[in-house]
Structure 1
Amino acid sequence: MVRIHAVGDDALGDLDAVGLVAALRDGSVSREELIDAAIARAEAVNPALNGLAYRAFDSARAAAPHGGFLSGVPTFVKDNADVAGMPTMEGTDAWTPRPAATDGDWARTYLGTGLVPLGKTQLSEFGFSASAEHPRLGAVRNPWNTDYTAGASSSGSGAFVAAGVVPIAHANDGGGSIRIPAACNGLVGLKPSRGRLPLDKQMRQMPIRIVANGVLTRSVRDTAAFYREAELLWRNPKLPPIGDVTAPGRQRLNIAVCTESIVRQAGPEVREIAEKTAALLEGLGHRVTQIGNPAPVSFKEDFLLYWALLSYALVRGGKRTFGPSFDRTRLDNLTLGLEDHAARNLRKLPLTMARLARTRRATARVTGRYDVVLTPTLADVTPRIGHLDPTADYHQIIDRLVDWVAFTPLQNVTGEPAISLPLGRSESGLPVGMMFGAPLGQDRRLLELAYEIEEAAPFRSIQD
């Protein structure tokens, strides 16, 4: 197994974002050195990983320093968020690129922390698949083993953070797309509570706001530092603040463990790691109870139809949204299959939407008795490139997708926070993530627990 990473003896070293801030402040590295090192790393690994959607290297070098705690730390933005001067292509090549005139609402907050964008990262087409394997743009590959997927939709960000190109990168999550690449690439990925961070206009207009912005990092403290800084720039008064989380919490928690997805039991390798994680939590003094899956029986089909509705809106409104060059014949079979599924089931949408809107009340009857719910992030280990080939028959793709991504969509519908942590390895040597969910607004609780777990079972880095 050959790993692809760029960690070495340059200005970035093996430091996380908080470590780089300290190095900048004590003068041991300069902003220019960090940006040049990250660009060199991106150029070194991208031929193998294919994570780059758009290069903005020259503008990163020329950009004036920006205030904020993370000022000077290099990053990437996922290619479904608007950044001034960069095109937003949504993981497809179905229309002619044009640069955004201004930063979107998300980029204003994200870059307001001082992060320096080096460009955009690849995603699966419109973020619909859990593996980015575009027939013309190519597959984004896992740096732990390039025969395997880097997960999706935030695949390029996950691959680049894991490979050491940058310590932090933008991801967003409408069905698991922060947590899935975190699990596949051995990273920390928090999908925050609904409304915790701003959304661009298109995502705000969804009937149910299933998408949440966030970040992928290699350490809990980087994720916590980002949320602290973002909260200083943009705060939702309807949610309790996260604040400055720098250590484990003291409270012993009542934790439920569930290894049964909405489709099936988790695979044996994943289930064993979940059981070991539960034992670790008990050893730390938490109370652990086994439960069944709390999702309603209708959830699988309801979420799939809602997911398909998003494709229907994008495909049918393509020329209006993306311009006259939009060409639906350049879309992949998953996107077109989802559009067709929605078209054939539009009559079911009112009941589907009503059931999805009630999901949090339904699941709370089970999860309401617990502080945290532990599940595997994914129902099985990371698959090889080709398993979710978007040129295959739609029914094959969707069956395999639903089978694998069976735990993460629930929190997208309920709006509750969930974090994936790298707590195991598969027999093939790839990372396996475990996911911790909490009630709406309890993001701080998840970060405190993540700190405790990271101290008790330190995360393995790719260069070890």
Structure 2
Amino acid sequence: MTTRVHAFCDDALGDLDSVGVAAAVAAGHISAREAAEAAVARARQLNPALNAIQTPDFERGLAASDTPAAGILSGVPSFVKDNTAVAGLPTDQGSLAVRSRPAAADAPFTEQFRSTGLGVLGKTTMPEFGWNASAEWATLPPTRNPWHTDYSPGGSSGGAAALVASGVVPIAHANDGGGSIRIPAAACGLVGLKPTRDRVVPAAEASSMPVDVVSNGVVTRSVRDTAHFIAGTQQFRPAAGMKPLGLVEGPSDRRLRVGVVLDSVTGAPTDDDTRAAVLATVDRLTALGHDVVTVPIPGDAVRFMGAFKHYWSLLAFSSHHFGKQAMHSPDFDKSLTDPLTRGLARSFVRNAWRTPGAVRTLKRSEQVYRDAFTDVDVILSPTLGYVTPLLGHLNPSVDFPVLFQRLVEYAAFTPLNNASGSPAISLPLEQTADGRPIGVHFSAVHGDEQTLLEIAYELEADRPFARIQD
């Protein structure tokens, strides 16, 4: 029997999204303090069932809500993921090996996040260093999916997605180095936009990466929340070198040419439920007047996936062997890293000679990806290779070769956007027979978040997203 949990009730937050909360605060119907108090009460009620909060910071968050920052979402309570610095809080990267000291200052992205008016009530859970696509640990209780608590919430932004889907807050920070915004959005029935590389302030670790694969963003319950957030970030720092992005407020009259990809770069077939979700979306797009055509996977899929897997291992090796420097954690103890991190690090050591070729392949993927849009406006695909699994399926204690293959097949569709730096969005368009969300994925050419948001608005209006409280 499905175990569904949520915190929606008749309090200051009600069932409002972020735009609704900000409007209520601006109109004086509620105060930012009342919104924050409602979120804290919801968090205290629900977190024992979800395990989605890494570090609560309720008292400081409540105090700050008395004078909320100005911004497009002023007065809305939220959380930041545990891999991004918040002044006064540790940044433990979801790992028992890290014992970080409270950050002296906000990360640059945290400043941008706050500039939209969002308040911070603490930090959310994530799997160790973000390597896993499920918020699980070898020796600690997992974060649970509020739609069905026996199932994974996805990862790595699993805690953020669980809090937003369950109604604790309407919006939360997430970031994406291989799908970590879009994967939990798909698993938890949310909107998850991975922006174009450098659309928002880069992650702190970006400058040390041979290929910057990480983008910051949010997970939300409505398209307009995502649109307002990304517009707000541009007021803080407009993105250089790409088309300006203002506030996208609804669908476009323009009809699109949509390319469809059903099977992933791994060669593993997409599962029946996920395949059916994409085909149902094709039918909806066709009925709405869009031109839908089948297109091939961009570029050499086998070579790309091999390169990305190696790069994944390289980053894990760096965290495992240089954790004191990389995590700014003088007490870092690599013997406490989990089996997935250690397995990835060993894989890198065995294949270190592949590094120059892998980096070249990933850097070339930007042009390969751009070339795929010569005849289509967007590409439609599954977000995931299969619907979100039961907890344990992706636990880091699973034998490494088995786990790694499961992860590669699960997260097969999302990494190309990270390597190429392109934007993509997961939308909660379908469900399994027992009511678990299925995400459907749209990708666009670099800098074209506007088209992604417009098609998202259109599909949301055509059939509103399922609500956990119904």
Q: Is contact 1:294–1:367 with CA below 8 Å preserved after alignment?
A: no
1:121 match: 124
2:345 match: 339
Measure, in 1, the Cα distance between the counterparts of 2:176 and 2:222: 19
- How far residue 6 of structure 1 moved from its aligned partner, in angstroms, is 0.1
- How far residue 95 of structure 1 moved from its aligned partner, in angstroms, is 2.7
Measure, in 1, the Cα distance between the counterparts of 2:360 and 2:107: 31
5+ residue gaps in structure 1?
Answer: none
Residue 141 of structure 1 aligns with an amino acid whose one-letter code is: R
2:134 is the counterpart of 1:131? yes
Measure, in 2, the Cα distance between the counterparts of 1:108 and 1:131: 27
State the secondary structure of the residue aligned to 1:189.
strand
1:231 match: 234
Residue 41 of structure 1 aligns with an amino acid whose one-letter code is: R
1:9 match: 10
State the secondary structure of the residue aligned to 2:149.
strand
Counterpart among 288, 294, 307 of residue 292 in structure 2: 288
Measure, in 2, the Cα distance between the counterparts of 1:368 and 1:333: 43
Taking structure 1 as the reference length, the TM-score comes to 0.98
Taking structure 2 as the reference length, the TM-score comes to 0.97
State the secondary structure of the residue aligned to 1:289.
strand
State the secondary structure of the residue aligned to 1:61.
helix
2:388 match: 382
Counterpart among 418, 438, 442 of residue 444 in structure 2: 438
2:306 match: 301
Q: Is contact 1:50–1:156 with CA below 8 Å preserved after alignment?
A: yes
Measure, in 2, the Cα distance between the counterparts of 1:361 and 1:323: 38
1:36 match: 37
Q: Is contact 2:203–2:216 with CA below 8 Å preserved after alignment?
A: no
Deviates more, 1:357-366 or 1:314-323: 357-366
State the secondary structure of the residue aligned to 1:54.
strand
1:199 match: 202
1:358 match: 364
Residue 285 of structure 1 aligns with an amino acid whose one-letter code is: G
1:311 match: 316
Residues 45-82 of structure 1: CA deviation (Å, up to 9, x unaligned) = 11111000001000011113212121211000001000
1:407 match: 413
5+ residue gaps in structure 2?
Answer: none
State the secondary structure of the residue aligned to 1:118.
strand
Measure, in 1, the Cα distance between the counterparts of 2:176 and 2:98: 24
1:177 match: 180
Residues 81-127 of structure 1: CA deviation (Å, up to 9, x unaligned) = 00100110111121323100000110000011111100000011100
Q: Is contact 2:125–2:143 with CA below 8 Å preserved after alignment?
A: yes
Residues 205-260 of structure 1: CA deviation (Å, up to 9, x unaligned) = 21111000000000000000011111000112201112111010111101001111
- How far residue 387 of structure 1 moved from its aligned partner, in angstroms, is 0.1
Measure, in 1, the Cα distance between the counterparts of 2:122 and 2:329: 23
State the secondary structure of the residue aligned to 1:44.
helix
Q: Give the alignment of 1:134-173 within 5 angstroms.
A: 134-173=137-176
Measure, in 2, the Cα distance between the counterparts of 1:429 and 1:329: 40
2:269 is the counterpart of 1:265? yes
Measure, in 2, the Cα distance between the counterparts of 1:71 and 1:324: 37
Counterpart among 361, 379, 390 of residue 373 in structure 1: 379
- How far residue 295 of structure 1 moved from its aligned partner, in angstroms, is 4.1
Q: Is contact 2:100–2:331 with CA below 8 Å preserved after alignment?
A: no
Measure, in 1, the Cα distance between the counterparts of 2:211 and 2:193: 20
Deviates more, 1:355-364 or 1:98-107: 355-364
Q: Is contact 1:187–1:219 with CA below 8 Å preserved after alignment?
A: yes
Number of aligned residue pairs: 464
- How far residue 369 of structure 1 moved from its aligned partner, in angstroms, is 1.4
Measure, in 1, the Cα distance between the counterparts of 2:207 and 2:42: 35
Q: Share of identical aligned residues, percent?
A: 46
State the secondary structure of the residue aligned to 1:307.
helix
Measure, in 2, the Cα distance between the counterparts of 1:18 and 1:120: 22
Q: Is contact 1:423–1:433 with CA below 8 Å preserved after alignment?
A: yes
Q: Give the alignment of 1:41-120 within 5 angstroms.
A: 41-63=42-64, 64-120=67-123
State the secondary structure of the residue aligned to 1:14.
coil
1:393 match: 399
Measure, in 1, the Cα distance between the counterparts of 2:263 and 2:57: 43
Q: Is contact 2:54–2:123 with CA below 8 Å preserved after alignment?
A: yes
- How far residue 203 of structure 1 moved from its aligned partner, in angstroms, is 2.6
Residues 379-422 of structure 1: CA deviation (Å, up to 9, x unaligned) = 11110000011012111110110111110111001111000000
Q: Structure 1 residue runs of 4+, over 4 Å off?
A: none
CA 1:229 to 1:365, structure 2 compared with 1: closer, same or farther past 3 Å?
closer
State the secondary structure of the residue aligned to 2:280.
helix
Q: Is contact 2:56–2:122 with CA below 8 Å preserved after alignment?
A: yes
Measure, in 2, the Cα distance between the counterparts of 1:196 and 1:127: 21
Residue 159 of structure 1 aligns with an amino acid whose one-letter code is: A
